[in-house]
Every structure is written in structure tokens, then in C-alpha cells.
């Protein structure tokens, strides 16, 4: 048995007979997520999607993947494009950043302050920074 890397630098798993047959069962994670339309509407939030508040505090509250998908949804909505169904959609809906209605996703153009029920995830130093940030900005 050899443990050397392939000469071409591209390591690929061996093709299996099951993958070669049409109609072979595929894990659900491999299926293509459907496209959904996205629209943007004015929101009551204080921050633009590009504001550093979003990347600093919302990432700490809901995670970088969910924030990246939120920003992707906002960008797609402003361009009028459809997007693949986000993997973090349930989290974005619970956080109040996205809602589903009539077969489409609705995102807000302005991001609100992180709600109190999500701030428990902040370490003490970030919670203090958040309090200072909110009180110092109009």
C-alpha cells in the first residue's frame, strides 16, 4: 500500500459503480437546492448591510455563514436575481432578518440591532463593545 500523493497533485476518489449508474441513490446533501426569488423591502433597522456593525456583532450572534448568506440575499434582491435556497434560512428567519411569503424570500435593506435574546452569545468584552457602539452611534 502506498501513501504517496498523486503526481498530478489532484487527488480524486475512485469512481464507483454506483455513481456511474443513472438513478443511483444520492445523499440529500448532494441534491441541488432549488432557486427562489428574493425581494428587498425597507426595514426598520439602523445599519446598512455593508456597515461594520453587521460583520462584527451579527457574525458573533448567528455565525459567519448565516451573515454571508444574508448579504448574498440582499445583493441578489437588489439585482433582481434568484438564489439557491439558503442553508441558514431557518436561522435567518428566527433572527427576523428574512421572511418567506408567497414562494419567495423577503429581506430588509437595513439591518436591525442584534436582539437581546441573541446577545447571550457575546463574550463579556464584545457585549461591552456592543453597548458602547450602540450608545455612541445615532
Residue 27 in contact with residue 18, Cβ under 8 Å? no
Q: Is residue 14 part of a domain?
A: no
- Domain total in the chain: 1
Residue among 101, 42, 102, 36 at smallest CA distance from 73: 36
pLDDT tens, residue by residue, 53-94: 999 999 999 999 999 999 999 999 999 999 999 999 999 999
As a whole number, the mean pLDDT across the chain is: 85
pLDDT tens, residue by residue, 35-55: 999 999 988 888 999 999 999
Supply the range of the domain harboring residue 85: 33-99
Q: Is residue 63 part of a domain?
A: yes
Its pTM stands at 0.75
Q: Is residue 82 part of a domain?
A: yes
What is the reported pLDDT for 99?
93
CA triple 125-62-69, angle to 5 deg? 135
CA pair distance 122, 54, nearest whole angstrom: 14
Q: Is residue 111 part of a domain?
A: no
Q: Is residue 88 part of a domain?
A: yes
pLDDT tens, residue by residue, 107-126: 998 999 999 999 988 999 99
Amino acid at each position: 500500500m502506498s501513501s504517496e500523493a498523486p503526481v498530478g497533485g489532484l487527488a480524486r476518489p475512485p469512481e464507483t459503480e454506483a455513481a456511474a449508474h443513472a438513478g443511483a441513490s444520492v445523499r440529500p446533501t448532494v441534491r441541488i437546492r432549488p432557486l427562489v426569488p428574493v425581494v428587498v423591502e425597507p426595514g426598520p433597522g439602523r445599519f446598512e448591510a455593508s456597515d461594520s456593525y453587521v460583520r462584527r456583532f451579527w457574525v458573533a450572534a448567528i455565525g459567519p455563514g448565516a451573515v454571508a448568506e444574508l448579504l448574498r440575499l440582499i445583493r441578489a434582491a437588489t439585482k433582481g436575481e434568484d438564489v439557491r435556497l439558503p442553508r441558514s434560512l431557518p436561522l435567518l428567519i428566527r433572527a427576523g432578518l428574512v421572511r418567506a411569503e408567497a414562494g419567495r424570500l423577503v429581506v430588509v435593506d437595513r439591518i436591525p440591532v442584534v436582539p437581546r435574546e441573541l446577545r447571550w452569545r457575546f463574550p463579556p468584552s464584545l457585549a461591552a463593545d456592543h453597548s458602547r457602539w450602540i450608545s455612541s452611534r445615532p
